[in-house]
Amino acid sequence: MTTGTTTAHFNIGIAASRSGVSAKMVRHYESLGLLPAIDRTQAGYRRYTEREVHTLRFIRRARDLGFSMAETAELLRLWQDRERTSAGVRRIAQRHVEDLERKIAELTAMRRTLERLVDCCHGDGRPECPILDELEGGTTGSGAG
């Protein structure tokens, strides 16, 4: 006696809900090739399996950590390659950490400039405002640019 196994299929709304990704982004990831070609019903509705939902969760986690679409695609490729080494994964993650450190430094400089400008602005009935002067291209020097 043989036992048949059936694979559960989900429509895009359920797949989106189970993965934490909006239906719009599911379609977008599919259009970018991050998901394999999705089976469709005779009526043309997409049919997702748990495997695709798992892939969507992977993509969501990578995007939540700030990886670019290109980095996410490369990480996805490495994740699906069971014969890969971890060196490539580490290299991508390390480069991303360095990018984040650069962005943090830039944001910190912007915050300092804004704090200084806010401290210089009286915020009262006077028309003079160092914040507007800076935005106009004044000489206060932002250090963020």
Q: Which residues face 10 on adjacent strands?
A: 48
**Contact partners, residue 133, CB within 8 Å, separation at least 6:** 140
Rounded to 10 deg, the angle between the 87-120 and 69-80 helix axes is 150
Question: What phi and psi values does residue 11 have, to the nearest 5 degrees?
Answer: -80, 175
Q: What is the pLDDT along the chain (145 residues), one digit of tens a residue?
A: 445 567 899 999 999 999 999 999 999 999 999 998 899 999 999 999 999 999 999 999 999 999 999 999 999 999 999 999 999 999 999 999 999 999 999 999 999 999 999 999 988 888 889 899 999 985 545 454 4
Q: What's at 41, amino acid-wise?
A: T
Task: For domain 1-67, say whether CATH 1.10.1660.10 is its number.
Answer: yes
pLDDT value at residue 125: 86
pLDDT of residue 142: 47
Query: How many C-beta atoms surround the C-beta of residue 16 within 10 A?
Result: 20
